[in-house]
Amino acid sequence: MDKIQCPMCSSQDTINISTYTADKYNFYCCNKCEGIFANPMKSAGKEWYETSELYQEPQTVSDYLQWPEKLLLKDIGLSKNLNILNIGCGKTIFLKKLKESGCMVTGVDINEKMIRFTKNILGVENAHACEISDFIRNYQGEKFDIVVFFEVLEHLENPSEFVNDLKNILSGSGLIVFSVPNRERFLPSKHLADYPPHHLTRWSTNSIRNFLEINDYSVDRIIISPFTAEILFHLFGIFFGTEYLENKIKKGDKRILITISYKLLFKFRVIFYNVLAIALRTLLKPKIKPKGIDIYAVAKVKNK
C-alpha cells in the first residue's frame, strides 16, 4: 500500500485511523508530529465557501469578538503602528478595532463576500479577494510585523507550505498568531463543519508545537481556550429566539422592537451560558478538566 505523506511535517510514517465514508475521505495520524489529517487533502474550494451558509456576508456588525481576537488585541495593547496581515476575514469588528488602535491592516480572503463586508462595513479598504498563495507571491509592500490567521489552518490543503511561504512576507521580528479548533476539546460535537472538505486537519497542543518546530518556527506560546459559554452554544444550540430575530434583521426588518428584543435576548443568552459554563467548570474540574474549543498560538521564525 502506498504511504500517505503528512501535510504538516512531510513524514511518511502515517497510519490510517478512520474512514469518513460520506465524502470518501480517510483520516490519518502522523507518528512524527501527532497531526491528524484527511486523505485526500482536497479542500472545498472558493465556490463552496461563497455559497455556504457559514460564510455569508453580514449586513451589520455586532461588537462581539471571538476569544482569539480578544487575546490578540490584548497582546498588542499599546503597540501602535504595527503592520498586520489578516488571512481569512471574519464576521466581527476585529479588523476595525485593530485599525482604530493605530495598526495598518491588510485583509485577504478567498471569499469575495467577506472582502466586501471587510471593505464596506468594517471600513478596511486594504482587502483582497484571492488565494493566499497568490497574495504572498505578488506581495511587494512592506513586510508584516504580525500575520494573523484565526480558524484558517484547518481548511488548507498544504499547511506546511503555507507557513513556509509566510516567511517571505514576515519582518525580521515578525510573528504568526493563529487559532485552530482543539481536537481534544470537552465533548466534541459531531457537526459536519468539522469534517472534510471543510476541515482537513485536526490539531492538539502537541501537534501544533511539533508542526511549528519542524517548520522552523519557535513557539512563543500555545493556549487552550477556557471551557466557556461558546462550547455550550455549539452543544445545545439553544438560541432563545435570537436566530429567528437575526433572520428578520438580515432580511431588512428595521423595526425598533425587533432590534431591541434581539439585543436583549442575545445578552441574556450570553449570560445564561456563561453561568452554566462556570457551574460545569467548577463541578468537573477536579475530575475531567474540561478543555475549550480553540487553541491559540504565537510563534516566530527561527534564526531571523
Binding residues for Zn ion, rule: CB under 5 A, are 6, 8-9, 11, 30, 32-33, 35
Q: How far is the CB of 4 from Zn ion (least distance, A)?
A: 11
Decide whether 11 or 56 has the Cβ nearer to Zn ion: 11
Decide whether 37 or 49 has the Cβ nearer to Zn ion: 37
Radius of gyration from C-alpha coordinates of the chain: 20
Tell me whether strands 217-224 and 294-301 are parallel, antiparallel or unpaired: antiparallel
DSSP three-state, residue 272: helix
Contact partners, residue 201, CB within 8 Å, separation at least 6: 7, 8, 35, 36, 37, 38, 153, 154, 156, 159, 180
What is the end-to-end Cα distance of the chain in Å, rounded? Answer: 41
Cα(169)–Cα(135) distance, integer angstroms: 10
Q: How far is the CB of 31 from Zn ion (least distance, A)?
A: 8
**Residue 144 cell numbers, joined:** 508584516
Decide whether 211 or 227 has the Cβ nearer to Zn ion: 211
Burial of 256 by CB count in 10 Å (0-12 exposed, 13-18 middle, 19+ buried)? exposed
Decide whether 9 or 208 has the Cβ nearer to Zn ion: 9
Decide whether 11 or 259 has the Cβ nearer to Zn ion: 11
- CA 116 from chain center: how many Å? 19
Decide whether 11 or 274 has the Cβ nearer to Zn ion: 11
Q: How far is the CB of 39 from Zn ion (least distance, A)?
A: 13
Q: Are 99 and 124 in contact (CB under 8 A)?
A: yes
Q: How far is the CB of 149 from Zn ion (least distance, A)?
A: 19
Decide whether 30 or 114 has the Cβ nearer to Zn ion: 30
Q: How far is the CB of 15 from Zn ion (least distance, A)?
A: 11
Q: How far is the CB of 159 from Zn ion (least distance, A)?
A: 10
**Selection from 289, 298, 74 nearest residue 205 by Cα:** 298
Residues facing residue 203 across a β-bridge: 182
Q: How far is the CB of 6 from Zn ion (least distance, A)?
A: 3
Q: Are 62 and 121 in contact (CB under 8 A)?
A: no
